[in-house]
Structure 1
Amino acid sequence: MKTKLLIKRIKFIKLISFLVLILFFLNGCQKKKSTRIYKDFTKDFSLRVNNLLSYMTLEEKVGMLRYDNPGVPRLGIPRYNWWNECLHGVARAGEATVFPQAIGLASSFDERLMKEVATVISDEARAKHQYFKNQGVRGIYSGLTFWSPNINIFRDPRWGRGQETYGEDPYLTSRMGVNFIQGLQGDNPKYLKLVATAKHFAVHNGPEISRHSDDFDVSDKDLNETYLPAFDAAVNEANVQSIMCAYNAFRGVPCCANNLLLDSVLRKKWKFNGYVVSDCGAISDFYREGAHEYVSTKDEAASVGIKSGTDLNCGDVYQNLDAAIKKGLVDTTFINKSVKKLLTTMFKLGMFDPDSIVPYTQISIDEVANEKHIDLSRKAAQESIVLLKNKMQALPLSKKIKSIAVIGPNANSLDALYGNYHGISKNPITPVKGIQEKLAKDAAIYYAPGTPYVDGMNIYQDIPEQVFYVDSTLSRRGLQGKYYKSLDYTGTPALDRVDKKMDFNWMDKMPIELPYNSRFSIIWKGILLPEYTGKYKFKTRGEVFVDGKKVDGEISLKSGVKYNFEFRIHGNQMYDETIVPAIKLLWARTDYDYAQEALDVAKKAEVVIFCGGLSPRIEGEEMGTFKLEGFEYGDRSLLKLPDVQTNLLKRMNALGKKIIYVNMSGSAVAFNWVNKYVNGIIQVFYPGEQGGNALADVLFGDYNPSGRLPITFYKSVDDLGDFKDYSMKGKTYRYFEGSPLYPFGYGLSYSKFKYSDLVIEQDTSKDEVTLSVKVTNNGHMDGEEVVQVYMGNNKVIGQPIRSLKAFKRVSIPKNQSVKVEFVLTGKSLKYIDQYGISKPISGEVELTIGGGYATINENYIKKKLEIK
């Protein structure tokens, strides 16, 4: 009996023990589940980041350090590509509002406009990201982390990428950069709208051809006076969340491994708490033969990069961090530190939270390129236009004009509207189109390209629809297109239709039923019936066949002859530097006398508008083997307007016509002959999608020009010195002692502004100098004036001849005056000594306040001031 009772007790104890174990297990599971606080969007981001990091394996962490992060599905970390662009509008992602190129935005000298533009860009970026996410697209150019703005100083106009910057002045660059960053990142106290990336850190502005191996050194004075201030402002005023380190080396150490820049200055001095991303391939330059060769192996490059503070690698070097750890080259502390920064950014962007609580996720795709945004692009283009010459009031032109010739390589160029790093406009307005829309329907408007940009190039244009026919009966216009779901034109066509123009951009919907961003292929066939006999070249990323033979170069075609025509293109060719499939087919007539055509139309016109200058096709980023007279690999070896353009202008001038020269470029051009002989000169840089309308507004007096040059226009490359000499001596308006063609800050108006009643007050207790001046518009039009304040401090050896200290854009009705006030304080009243130390200015200085520091109308006041 006792034995049975004992057995029952033992069973009972076992049962209780088992139940206790189950309860303990369940409690443990609940406890473990509750510790996943990274999913709890009510918690602080720092707690969530640390918690999520604790669940990640080393392999997963290393994957996070790649720009094309594969994600961690088991933890809910999405696949994400950190590379996106929005230099002057959302780029490389199909349709978007295209604003003036950065250098053009800078010429507005308008901080409020800059922030407004960036806010619109961030609206469109958020809308696109949400659209792509809903389509399951998470690749390049679909994310929320943007590698803009470029706040390098445009030290030398030969640099092809100078168009991406805000010009040559550190103060102007700082003000434009701060407002652009603030507009991108938003003002929500919890969530980031986007991440802006200030680049390229630091001491970086060409040449392009040698950027992977160049090692630059500058004095501490130049470093702190010229190359660092805009980055300082980006970090400490705009709270920029990301910094991109540069390709070049600085003082013997590649910038992406440079402890002086990334640790001593960026993190310790400025307290930067965001992440650093390498420029693409910059880490591989550490070991790559012919580049820096700073280390010997990929493993060493990975360890040096991460230990130096470059958190994110655009490239594939960081995939070797596993091997570097095993070799003892780096420990996991550095991995964790960088991953933590990247996770923090993802949390701040709302990537781990429901869309319903992230304020920016509800922006509709319909916001992209809406009417309001397009109007802002036009306003920005208007403000960016700089009137340089107006001989005997040649401008504005009368709208009653009956005939006008619009001539030049940029007269109908989309490239010259867009600049580099751009989106695609729904309805881009070139100069000839803008002028056509401005004038009465009975006005005769003649167009001719006249000349290529530079001798040796071709003039490519759209192929007219009337030369393509479906078959030899010539009964239907267009080409028969067969769309395949395969990449190699195999299988049954998913779509068979007639297309009339070879110009496509499929942002909203794929042409055939495929997941968004999929690869496919198309073959168009039909008849080509040329209108003119001559020699032709085609331009496309696809392949062209005429009568069954592939066309690789020049081809002779005869008018009226029917040629069997075939055009092929596949998905990898459609997605060149874009997430949206796009196709364009152009051609050029290589033996045609375009110059004579231009002279013929000029003879029939009352006025000639010549739209010349440069193009992003010849100035830009590391442009391969491109080398023609005056241009090398994207940079320039000469500043002069190419001879082929100047020569045509000379022939036109001999006709006795009124000529208005419109210079479209990303940098300064020495158009010396043009400046001497033509009636008017307008600088429009690369003005964005509404550039043609904005130009027409200025030409015909519907907008009073008010832009100012953000760079010096020199007379010759001989004024510049060695391109690789990064010393500021003799460079930019601050140190150049020669006579420029047009100075920094210069720009005319149709109004005449007068400055008077300057009052200067110094408050030594606050270390402030207050300026006030009356500005009167004595013109017959309402206008805007960019009031600029410069200080010269030549008493201190090595100081700039002059420096911009403040500016304001003000609207002044005709025959009225406004009082404009400035308060100079802080850095405005300090200078950088030879050791790079900031010190208070004391003694006599010269203040200049006006529409520039040097103008032909002398609309400025100079006054000596003793600073105590």
Structure 2
Amino acid sequence: MASIITIPLSKAMVFFLLLFFFSVPSSSASREPFACDPTDKTTRGLPFCRTSLPIQERVKDLIGRLALQEKVRLLVNNAAAVTRLGIKGYEWWSEALHGVSNVGPGSKFGGDFPGATSFPQVITTAASFNASLWEAIGRVVSDEARAMYNGGVAGLTYWSPNVNIFRDPRWGRGQETPGEDPVVVGTYAASYVKGLQGNDGNRLKVAACCKHFTAYDLDNWNGVDRFHFNAKVSKQDIEDTFDVPFRMCVKEGKVASVMCSYNQVNGVPTCADPNLLKKTVRGKWRLDGYIVSDCDSVGVFYDTQHYTTTPEEAAADAIKAGLDLDCGPFLAVHSENAVKRGLLNEVDISNALSNTLTVQMRLGMFDGEPSAQPYGNLGSKDVCTPAHQELAHEAAIQGIVLLKNQGPSLPLSARRHRTVAVIGPNSDANVTMIGNYAGVACAYTTPLQGISRYTRTIHQQGCADVDCKGDQLFNAAIDAARQADATVLVMGLDQSIEAEFRDRAGLLLPGRQQELVSKVAAASKGPIILVLMSGGPIDVSFAKNDRRISGILWAGYPGQAGGAAVADVLFGKSNPGGKLPMTWYPQDYISNLPMTAMDMRSSPSKNYPGRTYRFYKGPVVYPFGYGLSYSKFVHSIAEAPTVFSVPIDGHRKAQNTSTISNKAIRVTHTRCNRLSLGLHVDVKNVGSRDGSHTLLVFSTPPTENGHWAPLKQLVAFQKVRVAAGSQQRVRISIHVCKYLSVVDRSGIRRLPMGEHNIHIGDARHSVSLQAATLGVIKS
């Protein structure tokens, strides 16, 4: 053991060391060049370092200089350095679901970067139905990500957002998604990705990733986990539900990456399926970027699913299917042997690297000194700024949904409600508010702290935690309610109930929470307001039907400023405008409904209820799109066509001459790729408060399409702010082929001719789609 020698320091030496310490540049300017260091005489003149050359030529030059052993070590998330070419190692795995996170090893907090702005969990932000907000959040997150990269504590490749459909209300990761509607989820994906990646031509601010492709929406239920699950999905459901957000993310968001999932789809692991990866994502949708596995997915389909006999076969299957990067060590360990055994060609590995290296070059990682590049001026001063934190506050406000307001009892008044009892296991929660895949927040305002800014509070937890297994704290909570002028109960869930690898067993409040709410409501002398934190829906029928409970708010997981936002809504500083992005089902809905049943459409003969508002006809606690306001909005359709002509491509060969007469034309046989149906809607605020209102535009297709068609589907949505007593005219544009089409049993998207019923709240309008033949259809 080496001895430790202690040397006493003189005051002058201490002063010198302190001076040196404080004169060292902050970490926000400490990033060394990843590659192509302008001071490196060996590499700075090589073609792959010349920014004047097209990226494609630079990538080709670099790959041509790599040996096979070097190539395989670049196929994994912790890519090895290529020292002889001046290229440093790189960690691809960072996360930014709703703020820069430290979930992945690529990002770390500390020093100049103690935290980052933590926005509401995605399901809450989705409730705003505000695409411009989603993009604005993405811009802020990418500012902070670039700043942290410049500071040497983060990467530039972020495996976010999660754009899976929230298919089953028990799914523990439903909180990460924008909800159950494919159009909303796809619009969120495209908007957030645009915010993250920027709009600087071919250059990327950061590289986003839409995940988990595809039909991934089960983590661990009733003995079935995501590593063993084979999702049996019809072509119809793949086309019109599960793939829609990914297609929009790639084609409209221009995302730089797609992540394949752990599960199999119809017997084939998604990360080994060329039909999904090579043919669809890269072929049909034209992904300009890389495809990455979920972490250890390749190892999972070999070790756990036993899809291949040898590890070399697994590596070969993944790369040949279109996988470019492995989150995990598997490809680095087994790809070289796969080449040596003739299972894989080296050119396949080169093609995979071409996709990843192209993204790195678009990020500027081969452009030399980071500080001299666009975004190079971002540093610690640009993280957790007042503007960023205010956007987190505003996002939380926009995501809060008012579910009940009896009387109305809300908003509360600081003058009349001088003392408020604040009760519940989430009443003083902080980390709970940011949900999962979160980092370290800049600061927190809990519900108790937020309410305390308006009035005097009496605080009692009522339950030790959200499990609420005992009633030891009930009496103190009941006494607090008896003393107060109003009572706010902050109840719900947290990550111990719903999380990655933790699906819910049921839809009710956990433990004895419902009992606490009812007992407090019976004792309170003032109005009772129930505030719910959760990612998934909760069956609160008891509270909905209890006249003693005056109001119900759903806050989701509202982010670092969630408590301030809840208080602002409770006391009327802000007028709630959120709408539910998912159906709230009664507990009975999940009876005899396995999470493993993937069918979206109902089957009455099999007693199968169907999933989401598009296909489920039964009773609900609260429907998709539900949300109240302190104002009242009325709308009427001011202008809309009654007949709309759809041009048919008469020069295409159709299978038969019945293309028009069968009343549902293949979308590929039309010429309406850019054809939009325009509506003008008048929105009037007849209440006494200014407020924001979400226009949700639904369409019901012609009924003769039977089982093809959803009961109704969202075809457009738009947020509009209307002052009290005023009216605004809003133009709604509906892309005919994308949103008025339906998918048949064979997975073919068709456009039904005939009467489509458009409804926006109580306003109804019918438009007849009619085929207009261009030329002659050939048989």
- TM-score class, shorter-chain normalisation, is 0.7 to 0.9
| 1:131 match | 151
1:776 aligns with 2:684: yes
Contact 2:695 / 2:719 at 8 angstroms: preserved in 1?
yes
Q: Does 1:734 align with 2:614?
A: yes
Partner of 1:675: 544
Residue among 346, 370, 384 paired with 1:332? 346
Question: Cα offset for 1:34?
Answer: 9.7
Partner of 2:437 in structure 1? Answer: 421
User: Does residue 663 in structure 1 map to residue 532 in structure 2?
Assistant: yes
Structure 2 distance, partners of 1:98, 1:795, is: 48
Distance in 2 (alpha carbons) for counterparts of 1:70 and 1:259: 27
1:50 matched to 2:73? The reply is: no
Counterpart CA distance in 1 for 2:93 and 2:637 is 52
1:99 pairs with 2:140 = no
CA distance in 1, matches of 2:569, 2:293: 42
SS in 2 for 1:797: helix
The answer on whether the counterparts of 2:635 and 2:763 sit within 8 Å (CA) in structure 1 is: yes
CA distance in 1, matches of 2:466, 2:439: 26
Deviation at 1:707, TM superposition (A): 0.3
Which aligned pairs between 1:602-621 and structure 2 lie closer than 5 A?
602-621=481-500
- 3-state SS, counterpart of residue 304 of structure 1: helix
Distance 1:317 1:391, change over 3 A: same
Contact 1:453 1:614 in 2 (8 A): no
Deviation at 1:413, TM superposition (A): 1.1
Alignment map for 1:411-490 (pairs within 5 Å): 411-439=427-455, 443=456, 445-455=457-467
Alpha-carbon distance change, 36 to 734 in structure 1, aligned in 2, over 3 angstroms: same
Q: C-alpha separation between the residues in 2 aligned to 1:225 and 1:848?
A: 21
Determine if the alignment matches structure 1 residue 120 to structure 2 residue 158. no
Q: Which residue of 2 is the match for residue 149 of structure 1?
A: 161
Structure 2 stretches lacking a partner, 5+ long: 1-41, 103-107, 110-114, 602-609, 647-671, 771-779
Residue 592 of structure 1: how far off its partner (Å): 8.9
Tell me: CA distance 1:447–1:425, structure 2 relative to 1, closer, same or farther (3 Å). same
* TM-score, normalisation: structure 1: 0.75
CA-to-partner distance for each residue in 1:267-322, whole Å, 9 max, x for gaps? 2211223111100111111221xx21101332222121111111111111112111
Letter in 1 for 2:48: Y
Pair 1:844 & 2:755 matched: yes
- Rounded to whole Å, the distance in 1 between the matches of 2:468 and 2:285 is 49
Give how far 1:656 is off.
4.0
2:31 matched residue in structure 1: none
Q: 1:651 aligned to 2:523?
A: no
Give yes or no for contact 1:419–1:686 (8 Å, CA) kept in 2: yes
C-alpha contact 2:447 2:566 (8 A) present in aligned 1: yes
Q: Distance in 2 between matches of 1:344 and 1:164?
A: 29
Q: For residue 426 of structure 2, what is the amino acid of its counterpart?
A: N
User: What is the aligned partner in structure 1 of residue 218 from structure 2?
Assistant: 206
Q: In the aligned structure 2, how far is the partner of 1:35 from the partner of 1:369?
A: 39
| Shift, 1:45, TM fit | 1.0
Question: 2:480 maps to which residue?
Answer: 601
Aligned equivalents of 2:146, 2:466: Cα separation in 1: 40
Separation in structure 1 between the aligned mates of residue 209 and residue 747 of structure 2, nearest angstrom:
26
CA contact (8 A) 1:454 1:644 kept: no
Query: Which amino acid in the other structure matches residue 244 of structure 2?
Result: P
Q: Does 1:822 align with 2:732?
A: yes
- Which residue number in structure 2 is paired with residue 702 of structure 1? 573
Query: Is the 2:43–2:49 Cα contact (8 Å) retained in structure 1?
Result: no
How many Å apart are 1:763 and its aligned residue? 4.1
Q: Answer yes or no: is the 8 Å Cα contact 1:215–1:249 preserved in 2.
A: yes
Determine if contact 2:691/2:724 at 8 Å carries over to the other structure. Answer: yes
Give the counterpart of 1:308 among 283, 302, 321.
Answer: 321
Give 1:714's aligned amino acid. Y
SS at match of 1:196: coil
Number of residue pairs matched? 671
Measured against aligned partners, the alpha-carbon deviations of 1:513-544 in whole angstroms (never above 9, x if no partner) come to xxxxxxxxxxxxxxxxxxxxxxxxxxxxxxxx
CA spacing shift, 1:708–1:322, aligned 2, 3 Å: same
Render the CA deviation track for 1:725-764: whole Å, top value 9, x for unaligned. 1110211000010121100011000001112254321442
- Give secondary structure in 2 for the equivalent of 1:764: strand
Hey, what's the Cα distance between the residues in 2 that align with 1:301 and 1:166?
A: 33
CA deviations 1:401-449 (Å, max 9, x no partner) are 211111111111123211001122232001001111233xxx3x11111
Question: What residue number does 2:636 align with?
Answer: 756
Spell out the pairing of 1:182-331 with structure 2 (5 A cutoff): 182-208=194-220, 209-288=224-303, 291-318=304-331, 319-331=333-345
Equivalent residues of 1:795, 1:844 under 8 A apart: no
The whole-number CA distance in structure 1 between the counterparts of 2:270 and 2:561 is 38
Distance 2:284 2:569 in 1: 46
CA distance in 1, matches of 2:55, 2:288: 14
Q: Given the two structures, how large is their TM-score scaled by the length of structure 2?
A: 0.84
The structure with the largest strand share of the pair is 1
Q: How high is the sequence identity, in percent, across the aligned residues?
A: 38
- The Cα of 1:173 is off from its aligned counterpart by 0.5
Structure 1's unaligned 5+ residue stretches are 1-31, 458-590, 623-633, 851-859
In the other structure, the counterpart of 1:28 is: none
Q: Could you tell me which amino acid in structure 2 is paired with residue 249 of structure 1? A: Q
Query: Is the CA contact (8 Å cut-off) linking 1:416 and 1:665 kept in structure 2?
Result: no
Q: Could you tell me which of 744, 747, 766 is aligned with 2:627?
A: 747
Q: 1-side partners of 2:43 and 2:579: how far apart?
A: 61
Deviation, structure 1 residue 703 = 0.4
Q: RMSD of the TM alignment (CA)? A: 1.8
Instruction: Give the Å deviation of 1:129.
Output: 0.9
SS of match in other structure, 2:433: helix
1:689 aligns with 2:560: yes
Code of the residue aligned with 1:67 in structure 2: it is: N
Name the SS for the 2:422 alignment partner.
strand
1:831 aligns with 742
Structure of larger gyration radius: 1
Cα distance in 2 between the residues matched to 1:86 and 1:355: 21
Hey, what does 1:555 align to over in structure 2? none
Query: Is the deviation greater in 335-344 or in 594-603?
Result: 594-603
- Return the alpha-carbon distance in structure 1 between the equivalents of residues 349 and 535 of structure 2: 40
